[in-house]
Structure 1
Amino acid sequence: MTTLAGAKQLWKAAVPPKVKFFFWQALHGRLWTAERRKRHGHQQDEACRACVLCDQLDETTDHLLASCVFTREVWHSQLRRVGRQQLVPLGDSCLSDWWLHTRASIPKEFRRSFDSLVLLVSWNVWKEQNRRTFEN
């Protein structure tokens, strides 16, 4: 039996079930990003692999939700509101590694709130990516 790093924390987060399921898919690398659509033959144009938010690197789950410059600005904005802007993911961050490492640095009484923030910000970035991809 294999366990997903962060699964226990994910299911305890105070967010709607659809957001938990989305994040579970993200942690498994199952989001339909441009890179995944290309890999599965659902997207032919090589240029369409670029992130729709920054147009700089291939749109992978980790890039889209953690390391994209657009997403990192969103993270900075949200984390600054709670005085934690130093926790913004780096430009080469892996989503699950960043989330789990960062939550470990936060006092225990604030971790559930941090988990909810991470899931909800990720959900909103995903929704924006979908709007830009499918609705122009």
Structure 2
Amino acid sequence: MDLNFKVSQLITSEGAWNIDLLRELFVPEDVVRILSFPPSRNVPDALLWAHTKEGVYTVKSGSWLQAQPFPGMSDVSAIQKKVNRLKTCVWKIKTVPKIRMFLWRALSGAVAVAECSIQHGLNVDPICKVCKQDLESISHVLFECEKARQVWDVTCIPIVFGLALGFIEYMEQILECNTIGANYRQAIPWLLWGIWKQWNAKVYAGNTGDKDILIAHALEESEQWYKANEEEEVHKSQGLVANGGGEKKWSRPPRDILKCNIHASWLNSNSRCGGAWIVRDNRGDVMFHARDAFVPTSNRIAAELRCLIWAMKSVLDLRVTCVEFWTENLSVF
């Protein structure tokens, strides 16, 4: 039905209802209701809200309508539940924070590919800028594009490709991938990150890149990360996602006291390290936060101490005095 259709178009030149047109546009019950009152040409057309007696929108009627089941809503809900489950898994993937954030953004449709840009109202070419063949979607760039397929083929990671598959289905496959060697399984997050960086390098800098170098770099980065984090049980596990049993939840500070959590990222004595801190109140609301990079330090404890001193100075500069500092590295204290 035309949403701009007017009541006057339902009235004949004799001033009566056009019954044939009514039966064409409305269900029988509504036709009976419409015919129960005579038409009037003297009243101007206006927009009316169908869910109140007065025809005027109210917040209550809008909330009621939103709560009503509609055809297809169950399917949408099921898809959203799947996405939410995958987002939860992504935050537990054993990799560096920037890659977890990238995967979460990909699941949220917040990655700079043509399909996402079009969905946000931008007028861009939908075809992939690298292969010039298919729709430039997240799943295409990371799995289906020619350069990405070459990486997955060389690593022999068992991924089923298909036109009907989206990024959600591909993520489900790699999260459940337990049939390959530990080195390749652990490197999957770095492979995805490498494919994304290589695609951007080709699009914006014209650098073709080499799949063998990408794979070797991903394997090296993942191995260094596992060694640096000293997670012996991780090497024995069969999946990418960390077990939930060892998770540590944030605990509230006493009332009228702020809590500052700090964390330092350290790889080796030759690399720059980084740190971050976040201050929350008793309700868990974020008051202040910051992150920074430091010059190389000799070990992880030194990096954590440098981060702690920096956080203390920063909080003092903010004139926050009633605050307690927390770190997961017990060696600092």
| Fold in common (TM above 0.5) | yes
**Match for 2:188 among 110, 113, 118?**
118
**Structure with greater strand percent:** 2
Contact 1:71 1:125 (8 Å CA) reproduced: yes
Q: What code does the residue aligned with 1:94 have?
A: G
**Structure with greater helix percent:** 1
Q: Are residue 7 (structure 1) and residue 87 (structure 2) matched?
A: yes
Q: What code does the residue aligned with 2:128 have?
A: C
Cα 1:76/1:24, change in 2 over 3 Å: same
Return the TM-score normalized by structure 1.
0.71
RMSD after superposition: 2.9
Where do residues 1-136 of structure 1 align in structure 2 (5 Å cutoff)? Answer: 4-44=84-124, 48-77=125-154, 79-80=155-156, 84=157, 87-92=158-163, 93-104=165-176, 106=178, 114=185, 116-136=186-206
Contact 2:159 2:174 (8 Å CA) reproduced: no
- Structure of greater Rg: 2
Cα 1:19/1:59, change in 2 over 3 Å: same
CA distance in structure 1 between the partners assigned to 2:120 and 2:177 by the alignment: 38
Which structure has more RCO (C-alpha within 8 Å, separation ≥ 6)?
A: 1
Tell me how far 1:29 sits from its aligned partner.
Answer: 1.5
Contact 1:54 1:68 (8 Å CA) reproduced: yes
Contact 1:76 1:88 (8 Å CA) reproduced: no
Structure 2: gaps spanning 5 or more residues: 1-79, 207-333
Tell me how far 1:7 sits from its aligned partner.
Answer: 2.5
Deviation track 1:21-63 (CA, whole Å, cap 9, x = no partner) reads: 011011112111022234435454xxx3221232210111111
